[in-house]
Structure 1
Amino acid sequence: MIQGKIIKFYRELQGLRQADLGNEICSSTHVSKIERGITEVSQETIELLAKRLRIDMKEEINTYLSLDLLLKEWHESIILKLNSKATSIKTKLEGIMLLKIPDFYRAYTLVLTRYYLLIGESTYAKSLIEEMNSWDELSVYDQNMLYHIKGKFYLDYQNEYSLAISYLKKINLTYYHNPEYYYDLACAYMCMNSSILAYHYANKALQFFSSKNSFNRILETEMLMLIQVEQEEIFDTKDSGYPRLIEMADSLGLTDQKAKLLHNYAYQQFRNGSYEKAFEHYSQSLILRDASHPHYIVTLEGYLNAATKLGLQSQTELLIVAREGLSLAKSLDDTMYLHYFQLHVNKIEGLKERYYHYLESVAYPFFKEMGYGLATETYEIKLFDYYLEKGDGERANQFTLSIVNRFRKNNELV
């Protein structure tokens, strides 16, 4: 009985005993049975108990009946990245006391955590994840949603891609009807430098977002697939699909997606040696990004790479950018970008020996341990070249084995 659950919730909230609530209305035993929904009760008794609790029972019942749909609508808006709608629903929910009732508390906490992950409030999300880790007897749906939340947290805010994948791969769509997680898997595999799996899961996500007519998520997913295709050495950059997607994002007013597209287009141009164009697009992306969001620091590092290559800015100007990135990395507790920007500082200041000492003893071991494929491969080659240049073949050869092993194949050639 809904009335019984509501009465129990507000009684406990107000610190009343059952005898206090039932005084001159009914016995404490009767109150107990009402709260457990195991007895018939007159409307008059319900109204008297509600009056003592200073609540409008009809209004509370209507709220109770609407909460499940409202939470589902909130989750849907987060999945489709309708940020304004998600924020509006959150504001509406904040004043509803019944969310603390056991029927809704867990669902509310799970979706609230997703919301914090959406808007970049990783500290709040981490706190809620720690609380949820202590929950007992989760429903199958809640357990799968928690896997998704942990996967997103470790992917988007901790850069622990292997751990993110381990959580995301536990998800069972039979119980958790949210194929959106394919997109997160694709991102994680892309970060692990596994382009085939990244494309595979991005294609699955695209089918889901297309069925939802979610243009912003379709755009994001197409961009992810584009990265896998256009990073191939045989790809002709003149055929790039980025200008088309950037134009689409601009016409649809999708600022966040446009920023991501500009960033990735800049990265593609940088890899192909078009440093001026890379610098231009990194600069445009930075303007669109919020400096407090974790994505800002990623674009800032790309901007600094392009600016350094071009040599258009003074050492002082470059150091200001590098130290801004270092400060942001520390505030975000982002170890990966802390290492990147510390390397930038050493390089800009011309501290070659310090640069390679830090790289070999601190940064490179971290990248290798965390499974950051692209960074590991890049810095192995840098360290190999450095020691070869110094004439230290023995130290150089320490980095050749892992490079060679990645290209070993089980062929049957004589």
Structure 2
Amino acid sequence: MLEGKIIKFYREFQGLKQKDLGDGICSSTHISKIERGLTEVSGETIDFLCKRLGIEMEAEIENYREIEQLLKEWQDAIVKKLKPRVVSVKRQLEGFNLLHMQDFYRLYTLLLTRYYLFIGKGRMADGLIEEMSVWTDLTPYEKNLLLHVKGAYHLSVKNNYVEALACLKEINLEHYPNQEYYYDLALVYHSLNSRVLAFFHANKALQFFTKIRSFSRIIESEMLMVIQLEQSEDHPTLSQEYHRLIEMTEDYGLEHQKAMLYHNVAYLYLRNAEYRKAGQFYKKSMDAREKSHPNYLGSLEGYVNALTKEGKTSKEKLLSLVEQGLEQSRSSSASTFIHIFKMHYFYLSNQMDMYYAYLEEEAFPYFKEKGYMLLVEHYAVVLFDYYMEKNDMEKANRFATPVINKFRRNNQFV
């Protein structure tokens, strides 16, 4: 009985015992049965209890139904990344006391965590993740939503792709029809440099976003698919694809997606030694974001890298940008970028012995521990070349072996 749930919530909310609420109206035993929906109760009794609690039952039942609807709308808006709607619904929800009753609290907490991840304030989710980790007796839907939330948290906040993958792969679509999670799974595989699986899951996400008519997420999925083709397609074709998507974001005012595309086309130019264009688009990506946004550091690092390789920017300016990157990385506890910006500092300061020592002893083990396969493979080659030049074959082979093993095939030739 919904009335009983509402009475129990407000009794506990006001710190009343059952005997205090029922005094002069009915026994505490009868209150207990009303709250658990185990007995029929007259409208008159309900009216007396509501008067003592200072509530109107009809209004509270209406609030209950509205919260149910708003939570559905909030989740839908988060999935579609409709930021004005996401913020608006959150404000509406905050006006309801009933939001904190047992029926809603877990779903609200899960969606609140997703909200913080969505707006780029992942550190606000730390305490919520810790709280949710000790929850028991979850419904199948809540269990799978929690796996999705944890996966997204490890992906975007902790940059722990191995842990993110473990969470996301455990999701059961039979109990969790939100196929949006395919996009997060594609991002994880991309981060682990597994291009085929990244493309496969991005395509599945694209089909889902097309079905729910989420234009912004369609663009994100297409962009992620294009990224996976960077090593197999010709540069001009991919550049055209990126600029086509950028034009679409401009037509529809999708600023977040446009910033992502600026960053990715910048990396394409960087890979193809078009350093001036790379720097221009990294700068556009930075300008399109708040400095507190998690992706800002990635564009700043790319900007430093492009300017360094172009060779037309003063060392003083480059070191100033590196100091800015280090400061922001430390303030946001972004360990990956702390390592990378320190390497930029040693490189620009011409402290090459320090650069290679730091890479081998600090950065490389960290990248390996976190499962950042793209970085691990890149810097394994860097260290291999370094030790080959020093004629230290033992260490050179140590870094070459994992890369070589990746490309071994079980062929049956003589």
Tell me the percent identity: 52
The one-letter amino acid paired with 2:349 is E
Cα pair 1:231 1:268 within 8 Å, conserved: no
The gaps in structure 1 that reach 5 residues or longer are none
Cα displacement string for residues 369-413 of structure 1 (whole angstroms, at most 9, x for unaligned residues)? 222111111111111111222233333222222222122111111
Cα pair 1:329 1:337 within 8 Å, conserved: yes
Q: Which residue of 2 aligns with 1:53?
A: 53
Q: Which residue of 2 aligns with 1:174?
A: 174
Shift of 1:300: 0.7
Q: Which residue of 1 aligns with 2:110?
A: 110
Query: Which segment drifts farther, 307-316 or 108-117?
Result: 307-316
TM alignment of 1:62-211, pairs within 5 A: 62-211=62-211
Q: Which residue of 1 aligns with 2:236?
A: 237
Q: Which residue of 1 aligns with 2:363?
A: 363
Q: Which residue of 1 aligns with 2:327?
A: 327
Size of the alignment, in residue pairs?
413
Q: CA RMSD in A?
A: 1.2
TM alignment of 1:309-324, pairs within 5 A: 309-324=309-324
Cα displacement string for residues 170-202 of structure 1 (whole angstroms, at most 9, x for unaligned residues)? 001110010000001111101111110000000
TM alignment of 1:6-21, pairs within 5 A: 6-21=6-21
Q: Which residue of 2 aligns with 1:27?
A: 27
SS of the residue corresponding to residue 137 of structure 1 reads coil
The one-letter amino acid paired with 2:325 is G
Question: TM-score, normalising length from structure 1?
Answer: 0.97
Poorly superposed stretches of 4+, deviation over 6 Å:
none
SS of the residue corresponding to residue 350 of structure 1 reads coil
Cα displacement string for residues 82-101 of structure 1 (whole angstroms, at most 9, x for unaligned residues)? 11101111111112111111
The gaps in structure 2 that reach 5 residues or longer are none
Cα displacement string for residues 237-276 of structure 1 (whole angstroms, at most 9, x for unaligned residues)? 2553011000000111000000000100000010001001
The one-letter amino acid paired with 1:346 is F
Structure 2: distance between partners of 1:239 and 1:159 = 27
Structure 1: distance between partners of 2:108 and 2:372 = 34
Shift of 1:66: 2.2
Cα pair 1:11 1:17 within 8 Å, conserved: yes
Does 2:254 correspond to 1:254?
yes
The one-letter amino acid paired with 2:153 is F
Structure 1: distance between partners of 2:180 and 2:216 = 13
The one-letter amino acid paired with 1:18 is Q
The one-letter amino acid paired with 2:211 is S
Structure 1: distance between partners of 2:294 and 2:382 = 27
The one-letter amino acid paired with 2:60 is E
The one-letter amino acid paired with 1:296 is Y
Q: Which residue of 1 aligns with 2:293?
A: 293
